[in-house]
Structure 1
């Protein structure tokens, strides 16, 4: 991996043609996570990493690499943690590491990776990705053509100045379809036009769904809430994704990242988009239920061209043959007299099957020996397995080198891990899991998971487990193996083991049931909402931040960082930030002059310099039209509570307009919305504020600019008079519902010096001489 360049800026100048040429020359990269960082397949994965488990007699990671290569990926970084030496050995022997491979594979191993977040932080630290890249796990099986999704992602980043950091790929799939895993079931809200993700939530265990109100006020003309999507776990990422994981150490999974980006979208300016396809196949083998589903789809050729006879891994020897009813037979397979392969059956090379066997919807690995009168239905038998006569297996997994003696029956969803021996004449109940590892080993798993093979303590622990012996009642008189109870899975610290290998809920979250329970008893104690507490605490924290900023002369850039940190800490929406900031600033003079009753003039004298000082802080949050209206709403709410300071309101409003915190058009829109209370209507009739009336009086932008100019001029009376006259002409009256007196009273409010009234009168006289209809009333 030598010769890797540092991070490159995408905002630099240069000729457009050169930029387009550079974009075309960018190689497509991929980050493949060859570790699930969970224990869904325990105890199977105590002996073999999930990425190497056979799926249709091919290692899972080979399907993922084939998908990436067919997509056009030219460079893939494979990150390994658990049993990394086995993954590395497999890849070095595969076609992916040959000099002729179109996809250069780099293998990166570390015992320190504990999550997707750790991997992407390492990607950022080592500057591995320089352009947009594809992010997948090593258990993803797909034949989706993501070319269009890549083009859409690049176009958005080019047009919208790189605000889109991720595009997630989804496949249309109706609820309840077997390819949709319960634990990965999702509901998504999206902007129909831009495909921007507005809300993303997993639905597992939820009796009802909750949606944030901001998705209904995000400015989208049309949005959809969809529950017909399958998350393919394929993400097209910008290089900023790795940087964002570095900046946010609490991001451990992709779900953490997506949730963080959606919650903080307005602040960070980053967006997540989605691409929905109706064609192709995409799924992640997240548990044995999905293993069963994807294996079945492979045999039924839904993942074409990734079919069992394709030999896309370039294995030595002839490939298997495909015949009617999706029956696949590898080279060297022998079939006894009277045996039937009904449909959807795959048999690996060198396997021998006895007489009178009945096999359907099953996969059998290589070099297996199956006796007479054996029934396999939805069975997954891996390599080097020996099955004696009169055995029945239904919807179960049998791992490598397992021996099943005569007369054994495996009921649904049983798992026999590596090297187990069962029988004879024993029936395993549904969901039985047998492993050569004792369940007690799980207690030391967190401590010795990454110890070397020669660790003395680990060896002693394993020896003690062997001495405990096997239970003949569970595994048969000749059996070897320990039965893993449901409690063995639940006792681990990893909360994901609340579900078993097959993805079934063992201990449903009691909170989920309570959501659908009966209404609360009126006698129950009322618990205050934590969200409301957080908002109040946030307001106090912002007040303290501004006070400290004033005392220590902290710049607005640093204040923005601190306010953003508070927003994240208390999970506050951008609208609440806007309202709380406005409220805190407007109330700040009272905090400075505690115990002193401020007049309207004194209040304005203290407040206006503060607004000017913190104008950049306001501008950081007041950007969109709705932001202005939210700010004005908080502005009005404050003055409704401070009636004696109404005379100062027009000065404060004018100051915020002059500092370009608020725009004239949006001030007018706010005023025209009207008030819902008598006090609000009375406030709008206040002298000065009344000039904002739009029913009968509209202001042109030039008029407001001249009004502002005249307010700023104090030395040249003649110029001021002329500007006041121009201000008058800038206002237009319709229908005679407003009189010129309202305008002059507003101007007088801005120029309270009695001497200036002479100029106002002169201005009126000149205007009246030209337009008698605009005369002041007596």
Structure 2
């Protein structure tokens, strides 16, 4: 009898504890994964899913906050009484996946296929079954070194609110990745040679990337041999570029059922909180009275406190003394109604985007585009303030997604769209919707859209009498906080040279106007 065959396979998991700038300033004083999500720290959800999956050994890799994470793990094992072998590895060099994989290889602790997962992942997947799927892939394709797990969701689903979720992949008939792109653009270029090399290709933009992967023991040495591999995306692109040399492939498992998502942004924090409260992650569900809570946009502001306060605001009680009453008040509105509106906003935005895009291409008169937008507004029952915001964002995103120079394209789009904008931006309230939508657009795309671009857009609308002078000055001196951005981002924008010079010019123009009136 073969004794080796009788031995139980050891299931292992590698958990990455990321440093996440999206949760600054809180993450500066406490690890994000130990922030409470509804009724427990994020990391506990990850470990709960691994426990549910009968994982035997968990290796945590962290680059900061070793003592805090060690204390949490010690407390967890003592309270939950799980017989898990959890080891914590710490190094300031663990800034990305690359150093972790290379260190993992040097330690020689990986015995077979293992799970690669982030410490902010919430889900109810049976990952031991995913390991079996990965083994099946290896039987069919000995070159398979990784199986990435995706969930099937429609493109505008709220789960895909994070920029990390804008993923397009192309698969061959064996579900191997032949193209992998993360992009915010609406159009994608697909090399024609893919069709020459593959008789059958399926292209997907309807998948949510759980960022969970089942890896073979060949993955760590691949990273060790290639120091260009720093992230999973680098790894995938590297294997695709040298596929004939390395002969290593990455397969995809697409799930129709089950839940898994990362808390990798403030928006994801809100959406996953809702999913937990609606028990989409069963059998991992909140305990106690927390299930009666509805979370609205204002609660997210609790996450954006000054780092000096040293507090981690937990959203598991109806009253929270750490935030002021305005920002901790839970909504009385139905959570379901908000979710349905979210999908309708997305559908409405897509129609506005398409209408304006077609209007620009076909030089359609603005009145016809306004009629289309109004028709869509009534069809989706979108509130006026959202219409104002989404119309502005559609005009600006069209310029960002074009192949031309952003400055010239946005100027051209604004000139064409001016009658459309003037139709919706009239009152002080609508002007507020407009200017904060412009600011949010710039902050979301600050690598491509500079503060100078922002000022040129605002100046154009000011000169065309869309935005009033007093409103712009109030926007500068008394800004309201944007839910998806920390206050420091808004402060940095207002401290930029370009914004300062524009405000100075605006104030001087006002003084000259006042002097002329006095004369």
Tell me the residue number matched to 1:78: 60
Matched, 1:170 2:160: no
- Distance in 2, Cα, partners of 1:265 & 1:288: 37
Q: Is the 8 A contact 2:276 2:286 kept in 1?
A: yes
Work out whether 1:48 is the aligned partner of 2:52.
no
Say which of 171, 178, 189 aligns to 1:190. 171
The equivalences for 1:612-651 within 5 A come to: none
CA distance in 1, matches of 2:20, 2:297: 32
CA contact (8 A) 1:174 1:228 kept: yes
Closer/same/farther in 2, CA of residues 321 and 42 from structure 1, 3 Å limit? closer
Write the deviation string for residues 407-457 of structure 1: whole angstroms up to 9, x where unpaired.
Answer: xxxxx9xxxxxxxxxxxxxxxx97999xxxxxxxxxxxxxxxxxxxxxxxx
Tell me what 2:339 maps to: none
Deviation at 1:59, TM superposition (A): 0.4
User: Which secondary structure state, in structure 1, belongs to the residue aligned with residue 21 of structure 2?
Assistant: coil
SS at match of 1:280: coil
Distance 1:490 1:242, change over 3 A: farther
Matching residue within 85, 88, 91 for 1:107: 88
After TM superposition, list the pairs within 5 Å mapping 1:680-699 onto structure 2.
none
TM-score computed with the length of structure 2 as normaliser: 0.59
Partners of 2:11 and 2:54 within 8 A in 1: yes
- Separation (CA, whole Å) in 1 of partners of 2:200 and 2:253: 17
1:276/1:473 Cα in 2 relative to 1: closer, same or farther (>3 Å)?
closer
Cα deviation, residue 217, structure 1 = 2.3
CA gap 1:484/1:74 in 2 versus in 1, 3 angstroms = same
Q: 1:43 to 1:150 in 2, by over 3 A?
A: same
The two structures have a TM-score, normalised by structure 1, of 0.40
Aligned to 1:225: 203
Residue matched to 1:28? 11
Shift of 1:181: 2.8
Residues 288 and 392 from structure 1, CA distance in 2 versus in 1: closer, same or farther, beyond 3 angstroms?
A: closer
Distance 1:138 1:491 in 2: 35
Q: Secondary structure of the equivalent of 2:282?
A: coil
Question: How far does residue 144 in structure 1 lie from its aligned partner after superposition?
Answer: 1.8
Query: How many Å apart are 1:80 and its aligned residue?
Result: 1.2
**Aligned alpha-carbon RMSD (Å):** 3.9
Distance (whole Å) between structure 2 residues aligned to residue 381 and residue 430 of structure 1: 30
Give yes or no for contact 1:344–1:360 (8 Å, CA) kept in 2: no
**Aligned match of 1:259:** 237
Distance (Å, rounded) in 1 between the aligned partners of 2:229 and 2:44: 28
Change (3 A) 1:96 1:238: farther
* Residue of 242, 245, 253 corresponding to 2:223: 245
Q: Take 1:363 and 1:487, find their aligned partners in 2: how far apart are those partners?
A: 19
Match of 1:64 in 2: 46
Q: Against the structure 1 CA distance between its residues 384 and 182, is the aligned structure 2 distance closer, same or farther, given a 3 Å change threshold?
A: closer
Greater RCO, 1 or 2 (C-alpha within 8 Å, sep 6+): 2
Match of 1:298 among 276, 285, 296: 276
The aligned counterpart of 1:150 is 131
SS of equivalent to 1:94:
helix
Change (3 A) 1:298 1:260: same
1:263, distance to aligned residue in structure 2 (A): 1.5
Match of 1:179 in 2: 159
On the 8 A contact 2:42/2:122 being kept in 1, the answer is: yes
Q: What is aligned with 1:289?
A: 267
8 Å CA contact retained: 2:147, 2:253: yes
Deviation at 1:73, TM superposition (A): 1.0
1:96 positional shift: 7.1
In structure 2, how many angstroms separate the alpha carbons of the residues matched to 1:42 and 1:282? 24
* Structure 1 residues 104 and 151, CA gap change in structure 2 (3 angstroms): same
Distance 1:390 1:190, change over 3 A: closer
The answer to whether the 8 Å contact 1:298/1:307 transfers is yes
Deviation string, structure 1 residues 680-722 (Cα, Å, up to 9, x no partner): xxxxxxxxxxxxxxxxxxxxxxxxxxxxxxxxxxxxxxxxxxx
Alignment of 1:163-562 (within 5 A): 163-184=143-164, 185-191=166-172, 193-204=173-184, 206-219=185-198, 221-309=199-287, 320-321=288-289, 326-327=291-292, 344=294, 380=315, 385-386=320-321, 391=326, 483-486=487-490, 488=492
Partners of 2:20 and 2:27 within 8 A in 1: no
Q: Secondary structure at the match of 2:250?
A: strand
d(CA) in 2 for partners of 1:129, 1:490: 50
Q: For residues 95 and 190 of structure 2, what CA distance do their matches in structure 1 show?
A: 31
Q: Give the Cα separation in 2 of the matches to 1:133 and 1:430.
A: 46
Secondary structure of the structure 1 residue equivalent to 2:197? coil
Q: Work out the CA distance in 1 between the residues paired with 2:110 and 2:220.
A: 9
2:107 and 2:160 map into 1 onto residues whose CA distance is: 36
Query: Does 1:118 pair with 2:89?
Result: no
Alignment of 1:706-721 (within 5 A): none
User: How much does 1:363 deviate?
Assistant: 9.6
Structure (1 or 2) with the greater helix fraction:
2
Whole-Å separation in 2 of the counterparts to 1:19 and 1:491: 70
Q: Distance in 2 between matches of 1:305 and 1:53?
A: 21
Distance 2:195 2:285 in 1: 45
Distance 1:235 1:160 in 2: 17
1:127 aligned residue? 108
3-state secondary structure, aligned to 1:217: helix
Q: Name stretches of at least 5 consecutive residues in structure 1 with no aligned partner.
A: 1-16, 310-319, 328-342, 346-358, 366-378, 397-411, 413-428, 434-471, 476-481, 493-778
Distance 1:148 1:473, change over 3 A: closer
Distance 1:280 1:361 in 2: 29
8 Å Cα contact 2:37/2:269 also seen in 1: yes
Q: Which whole-Å CA distance do the structure 2 matches of 1:298 and 1:280 have between them? A: 13
3-state SS, counterpart of residue 119 of structure 1:
helix
Per the TM alignment, residue 97 of structure 1 is displaced from its structure 2 partner at its CA by: 8.8
The question of whether the paired residues in 2 share the 8 Å contact of 1:167 and 1:273 is answered with yes
* The structure with more radius of gyration: 1
Count of residue correspondences: 343
